[in-house]
Structure 1
Amino acid sequence: MKITIVCVGKLKEAYWKGAIAEYSKRLGRYLKLEIIELPDEKAPETMSPAQELEVKDKEGLRILKSIKDDAFVVALAVEGKMLSSEELAAFMADKGVRGVSHIAFVIGGSLGLSKEVMKRADYALSFSKMTFPHQMMRVVLLEQIYRAERINRNEPYHK
């Protein structure tokens, strides 16, 4: 299985980079991992709804250009379906059984994902009704993918 994480915004802090590197290394024994980091759109602190839409659309175009045609796309969105770790593991295993060899997880910028990205998504996944920084979500997502791989192999870790 190939997993691509498409994310808007750069990691700046060393502790996030360290966590990403650690989970990337751990996942390397289970799957092929690719992280595509896209620049966020520069925007003023206060924006009109039209300006917010424009920012999301510009970021969305970058996201869509980086998603391969063969990818099953999972958008991380507050309005998505919440899954337990075991349910995420079963979801990923089911995709593999059904012939999906490439899953792309998409993490938007601070304003979320554009309508076009949500249309391209095959599934919307929510980790919470709360909003989290995209840097943190990258780490949480990688940890949950790692946990899912361990669960699917009946390896200790997930309890």
Structure 2
Amino acid sequence: MGRTRKSVDVDRKTNRNTGVKSCWKARAVYLAAVLVAILLGLGSRTFSSRLPEFVANHFGDALWACMIYFGLRMLWVDRRLSVALWGSLLFCFAIEFSQMYQAPWINSIRATTLGGLVLGKGFLTADLVRYTVGIAVSWALDQGCQRLAGITTRTTHIDDDESFK
């Protein structure tokens, strides 16, 4: 007939444990996507002389933005995809606009390999387009993969069930 409060609490605990495990699986998948984006991005810079000119000129920045998107998804697996989309756009645009600031201390950081990869060197409007395309492609891939896997992007919490309050 009805369920006892104890059985409901056990079900909630089981659902939370299952949710925690699936969060870690999702994080692992997004970490793999981050690493693939890094490898492809570094490859596009390293082997630029062997790639078509369009790929060599544009893919590195787009892949950097992909890495940022998947990195945010790795951190925020329980949030909507749009949060990572807008968050990564905001982050990438902020980094690009920060390149207008050319003080000696930050330029010395940008002169290092890691600093140059993370902070860039100088402002380019074209980079904003590259970032937007990279993030849009990442978002579309993410959304498509989630649909194929039958994952809903809206999170619901069992604690929100009004019948138990």
Verify same fold: TM over 0.5: no
Q: Which has the larger radius of gyration?
A: 2
Using the size of structure 2 for normalisation, the TM-score is 0.28
Q: With a CA cutoff of 8 Å and minimum separation of 6, indicate the structure with the bigger relative contact order.
A: 1
**Of Structure 1 and Structure 2, which has the larger fraction of its residues in strand?**
1
